[in-house]
Amino acid sequence: MADNMNGWQKLEKVQESVKDGKPQEAEKITSTITDPTSQKIFMETLASRCSSGSAGLPSCEIVGAEGNTKAVKFKGEHPMTVSRDESGGSSSLKVTDDAPSTGKKVMDTLRSAKDFLVNLPSEIADGARSAVKETTKVGDALNRSNTADSELNRRWENQLKKAEGK
């Protein structure tokens, strides 16, 4: 379908996709623009329409110099970026969905909660160590915990000595 459109029709369809928040549809259309000169004209026209606000597009940020637009970053309810990649001797247009996905937000929240819970015991122990001076019995016991010289190991050694009569 996009192959049968002229450049102006493709530009109009991409603008509609940006307004509607459909980056996949915009990607399908821009992938049919393969000629580097056509890509450059497409990006310049899109940047011009966005900056003038005449096409009803959301606010945008234009990356690159005038006459050499590298990307147009659309903001608002459906953020996305239309960019021109000229790496490796070839040129292509790409559309990136900049909206954070709900799944990503949930996973980031779960990951930070897990990190908090994993670090909580050490944070509590660190807080207890700082609250109790190093020279007190409690501070000394905390410093020796989980070592061969811990309070528990000392009690066992004392009980063995008493049992052996030493």
pLDDT digits (tens, 9 = 90+) for 89-144: 778 888 888 877 776 677 777 878 887 777 777 777 776 666 655 556 776 776 77
DSSP assigned state of 5: S
Average pLDDT over residues 5-29: 88
**11 burial type by CB count under 10 A (0-12 exposed, 13-18 middle, 19+ buried):** buried
- What is the pTM assigned to this prediction? 0.57
- Residue 60 is encoded by which pair of tokens? 């945008």
Q: How far is CA 162 from the centre of its chain?
A: 62
Q: What phi, psi does 26 have (nearest 5°)?
A: -65, -40
Average pLDDT over residues 49-67: 81
Q: Is the pLDDT of residue 154 over 60?
A: yes
Q: Is the pLDDT of residue 1 over 80?
A: no
Q: What is the pLDDT of residues 11-22, one digit of tens each?
A: 899 989 888 888
Q: Are 139 and 130 in contact (CB under 8 A)?
A: no
- Residue 57 is encoded by which pair of tokens? 């597009």
Which pLDDT belongs to residue 139? Answer: 67
| 128: amino acid identity, one letter | A
